[in-house]
Structure 1
Amino acid sequence: MSAGLEHVHHIAVIATSYSRSKAFYCDILGFTLLSEVYREERDSWKGDLALNGQYVIELFSFPFPPARPSRPEACGLRHLAFSVSNLDSSIAWLEAHGVACEPVRTDPCTDKRFTFFTDPDGLPLELYEK
């Protein structure tokens, strides 16, 4: 017996600037905007973002969201990781668009290479080479 989970439906991200984060996720990371709506009663935007045709991120804005504890290793969601075929070219793309990446590390369990970077609000993101 189980809870019947089938797959991750979406990941919700709250941004301080909806337009800045939408540009980051769409123009730099390559997500596609499926739909967006402004919710006047909440002074909030909501955008649905897809990666390679699969709905992945629900991007929200709210006025004055509290800062997210990030480091050192705060309790909660640690980071969001994306797989890539060529880590070096992905890093080059990000850095050419002003996104700083940490030095590349190697996973001691899998011998796969990875790096971390952040979105415009400091949410930790990872690239993990397949």
Structure 2
Amino acid sequence: MISSILIFAFVLIALANQKAAATLFGRLRPWLTSTFDWFLVLSVDAITLFCLALILLPVCKVRIGGPDATPDYSYADWIAMMFAAGIGIGLLFFGVMEPVYFNFAEGGNAVPLGIDKAVPGNEYAGVVGTIHHWGLEG
């Protein structure tokens, strides 16, 4: 209930002060993406390693629902639900769009998120970002 009230109040304040909100968010996004990009990458990597550890450690033998519990859905059903939930569109659309966007948007040497392609190694930023978003971590 508290989260709902806070979100509703935040949306109302942003709608009431659209110019101020646009200015704030226009400055906030570039600052966040340039200051905390390392945090996003490390946290996604840490979560991926945690999930891999859960698979490999003995805790993976624990059956949710008790020792006699059976799954409600088959593996084929789960795969179908994952694609229906957005993995399919992500892989088919964003998996191609993202490297193109990073490498060719805004023309010249500047690409989104302030990556300067003139710096050696940065020409691969689109592919690296795509692998990070849609590879094992995805």
Alignment TM-score > 0.5, same fold: no
Larger radius of gyration: 2
- Structure with more strand by fraction: 1
